[in-house]
Amino acid sequence: MSDTSAARSGFTPAYLDRVGSSFTDFLGTAAPDLLPGRRTLPAVSVAELAPHATTIVSVTFDGGVLMGGDRRATMGNLISSRDIEKVYAADSWSVIGIAGAAGIAIEMVRLYQVELEHYEKIEGMTMSLDGKANRLAGMIRGNLGAAMQGLAVVPLFAGYDLDAAEGASPGRIFSYDVTGGNYEERGYASVGSGSLFAKNSLKKTWRSGLSADAATRALVEALYDAADDDSATGGPDPVRRLYPIVYRVDAEGAVRLTDDEVAAVAEAIVADRAAAEREG
Amino acid sequence: MTMPYYASPEQLMRDRSEYARKGISRGRSVAVLTYADGVLFIAENPSSTLHKVSELYDRIGFAAVGRYSEFEGLRVAGIRLADVRGYSYNRRDVTGRVIANAYAQTLGEVFTQQMKPFEVELCVAEVGDTPESDQLYRLTFDGSIVDEPDFVVMGGQADAVTANLRQHFTHGLGLAEALRVGVQALSAVSSATAANGGGRAQLPAEQLEVAVLDRRRPKRAFRRVVGAALAALLADQPAPDEAPPAEAAAGHAPSAPAPGTPPGLGDPAAIDTAGGTEQASAQPGTQDGVGGGTDGDSTTGDQ
């Protein structure tokens, strides 16, 4: 493999070529076998054989943006994982959530994280938020062949824009389609099989200028509503203490909310719903 | 077709070494020191964008002197190697030794096989979990690699700076104290200081590029010390008449920082804050006292 040979006999010419600060582009010349989009795929649909990850929700709030995802992955009619993590910090100021073929999606997230860090180290500065969103679109585009075989990956990307104009909301959300189309969303967005229900829920609960706590509740409630109607989305699981993964990105950077914090929000929602049911 | 003149291999190598040495000796110096919490890089560098010091990976840093275009290419190659290895294996499988070996091979290859050797000298530094596991690799233009225990000095006046550091450097210095020792050693030979015909007693913050690999930071240990944080650390170097209160030199950490207590690194999570008095008081009390006012020589005596 090219990387180990580099360690034994110095850097190969590709390493010393001072063109470009993209890790993906570099892998394309130095070790193309490591890139997810470069593999030959069988000419039949393999969708039923690979675990699929489902609903991701992102909402903006006053001073930043939140992203959360349920914990379920499905394989046909089976639940293949109850505790999968589908939301990740991409770097200090942005987060990425994934829906679609879990294996490829997680590989893509790893590559994307290295891509951002690589750029930061080589250039000595962080990529702009729009630049990050664009790089991700390029990666999705490279996966189009696999998407046609049933291994589509559709991420949701959100981040804190350090260059936001005065008065503009610094929390921004970008959604994608399988062809690499990149769309900036206003206020909230959702991807995955339960996204229809999650968006409908947010339509009622979200409004501009929410506080971080209120937005967290709106987000967890949207995931609850998605799990209510979509078999591929998992709801809060008090038996195993499994709750949605929620990340918050604000002026302090990207942080993952602790399980206890999310559990408290989820339990409050369940209690309120139960009370409303009894009264009704 | 004319025959090239014969030159013996010894002569060729000697000429190339001399050429490379000359190129390197024209540059300003860089010092890489170990301190209590990691590794400190100090470079005399008036440019704030053309860096001589850089992050390679989570626990690994890089410093270089010589021709900028050449060491910049090597820096990028090092980052690429680290990232490819970390991506295809695991982040823990990236070590300073691997990167230093690749540098040594490349420098050696260029030195023997190409007309012009690289006019660079590199240092690859890695912090471990304990001061004993910190590694400093020094790489020269011909591909030699040396594992140095305490500090590495490279560049034009390396011998003079090394001699100065030998006198003043001790193990386990605090950050402010290590910076003081390093800056003092670089200032003693710099053409920008009064000792050598310049206008100042010591190199000012804007002439310095300072960075640390701080083992206490989670994941990425590399951090540049710039702006207010650097000014505060440098300003902490006391004049002889500002002697610290006697109790500051006692064997325990003061509950309230005494005047002249090193500000330390601040919160490891917060970048470039000079605040962290908690960090400073968490250091051994003797260091606080030393940082507060005694001069470098007595430090050497203490430890």
Q: Do A15 and B51 touch (CB under 8 A)?
A: no
Residue B87 has pLDDT above 70, yes or no: yes
Question: B298 in a domain, yes or no?
Answer: no
Question: B99 in a domain, yes or no?
Answer: yes
Q: Do A114 and B102 touch (CB under 8 A)?
A: no
Distance CA A198, CA A183 (A): 18
Q: What is the complex's ipTM, to 2 decimals?
A: 0.89
Chain B residues with CB under 8 Å of A34 CB are 84, 87-88
A261-266 long-range Cβ contacts below 8 angstroms, 24+ apart: A261/A216, A262/A68, A262/A216, A262/A220, A263/A236, A263/A238, A265/A216, A265/A217, A265/A220, A266/A220, A266/A224, A266/A236
Tokens 């890489």 found at? B32
CB atoms within 10 A of CB A271: 10
- Reported pTM: 0.83
Domain count, chain B: 1
Question: B249 in a domain, yes or no?
Answer: no
Q: Across the interface, which of B81, B107, B108 has its CB nearest the CB of A15? A: B81
User: Chain A: nearest CA to B44, how far in angstroms?
Assistant: 18
Q: What is the structure's pLDDT at B274?
A: 35
Q: Is A196 on the interface with B (CB under 8 A)?
A: no
Q: Across the interface, which of A1, A11, A110 has its CB nearest the CB of B81? A: A11
In the DSSP assignment, the letter for residue B28 is P
Q: Assess contact for A6 and B101: CB atoms under 8 A.
A: no
* Token pair in block for residue B209: 């590029």
Could you tell me whether strands A94-101 and A153-160 are parallel, antiparallel, or unpaired per DSSP bridges? antiparallel
Q: Across the interface, which of A16, A110, A124 has its CB nearest the CB of B51? A: A124
Q: Do B76 and A122 touch (CB under 8 A)?
A: yes
Q: Assess contact for A54 and A99: CB atoms under 8 A.
A: yes
Mean pLDDT of B133-152: 94
**Can you give the pLDDT of all 280 residues of chain A as single tens digits?**
444 444 456 888 888 886 788 999 899 888 888 888 777 777 777 777 778 888 999 999 999 999 999 999 998 888 999 999 999 999 999 999 999 999 889 999 999 999 999 999 999 889 999 999 999 999 999 888 888 888 889 999 999 999 888 878 899 999 999 998 999 999 999 999 999 999 999 999 999 999 999 999 999 999 999 999 999 999 999 999 999 999 999 999 999 999 999 999 999 999 999 999 998 7
Sequence-separated (6 or more) residues with CB below 8 Å from residue B271? B223
Q: B 52-111 residues with CB below 8 A of A?
A: 54-56, 72-74, 76-77, 79-81, 83-88, 98, 101-102, 104-109
Mean pLDDT for all residues in chain B: 79
Percentage of chain B modeled with pLDDT above 70 = 75
Closest chain A residue to the Cα of B109, Cα to Cα: A10
* Token pair in block for residue B210: 């300072």
Q: Do A11 and B106 touch (CB under 8 A)?
A: yes
Instruction: Output the domain CATH number for residue B218.
Output: 3.60.20.10
Question: B290 in a domain, yes or no?
Answer: no
Q: Which domain holds residue B42?
A: 10-243
Distance CA B110, CA A182 (A): 45
For chain A, the domains span 23-28+47-279
Q: Which of B52, B71, B83, B91 to mutate to test the interface with A (most CBs of A within 10 A)?
A: B83
Length of chain A (residues): 280
Q: Assess contact for A129 and A159: CB atoms under 8 A.
A: yes
Model confidence over B56-73: pLDDT tens digits? 999 999 999 999 999 999
The residues of A that are catalytic are 54
Q: Is A8 on the interface with B (CB under 8 A)?
A: yes
Q: Do A114 and B72 touch (CB under 8 A)?
A: no
H or E element: which one contains B125?
A: strand B120-126
Q: Which of A4, A5, A15 to mutate to test the interface with B (most CBs of B within 10 A)?
A: A15
In the DSSP assignment, the letter for residue B226 is -
Mean pLDDT of B7-16: 89
Distance CA B136, CA B100 (A): 10
Distance CA B263, CA B233 (A): 7
Q: What is the structure's pLDDT at B197?
A: 67
Picking from A123, A249, A88, A251, the residue whose alpha carbon sits closest to that of residue B270 is A251
Q: Is A117 on the interface with B (CB under 8 A)?
A: yes
Closest chain A residue to the Cα of B104, Cα to Cα: A10
Chain B residues with CB under 8 Å of A7 CB are 81, 85, 98, 101-102
Q: Is A23 on the interface with B (CB under 8 A)?
A: yes
Chain A residues with CB under 8 Å of B124 CB are none
Q: B 40-59 residues with CB below 8 A of A?
A: 49, 51, 54-56
Q: Is B163 on the interface with A (CB under 8 A)?
A: no
Distance CA B61, CA B213 (A): 7
Q: Do A121 and B56 touch (CB under 8 A)?
A: yes
In the DSSP assignment, the letter for residue B2 is P
Q: Do B102 and A26 touch (CB under 8 A)?
A: no
Residue B247 has pLDDT above 80, yes or no: no
Q: Helices B285-292 and B175-189, interaxial angle, to 10°?
A: 40
Q: Do A124 and B54 touch (CB under 8 A)?
A: yes
Fold of A23-28+47-279: Glutamine Phosphoribosylpyrophosphate, subunit 1, domain 1 (3.60.20)
Angle at alpha carbon of residue B293, lines to B287 and B299, rounded to 5°: 50
Give the 3-state secondary structure of B35-66: ECCEEEEEEECCCCCCCCEEEEECCEEEEEEE
User: Chain B: nearest CA to A29, how far in angstroms?
Assistant: 12
Question: B62 in a domain, yes or no?
Answer: yes
Give the 3-state secondary structure of chain A: CHHHHHHHCCCCHHHHCCCCCCHHHHHHHHCHHHCHHHCCCCCCCCHHHCCEECCEEEEEECCEEEEEECCCEEECCEEEECCCCCEEEEECCEEEEEEEEHHHHHHHHHHHHHHHHHHHHHHCCCCCHHHHHHHHHHHHHHCHHHHHCCCCEEEEEEEECCCCCCCCCCEEEEEECCCCCEEEECCEEEECCCHHHHHHHHHHHCCCCCCHHHHHHHHHHHHHHHHHHCCCCCCCECCCCECCEEEEEECCEEEECCHHHHHHHHHHHHHHHHHHHHHC
Residue B213 has pLDDT above 50, yes or no: yes
Chain A residues with CB under 8 Å of B88 CB are 1, 3, 31, 34
Picking from A47, A152, A7, the residue whose alpha carbon sits closest to that of residue B104 is A7
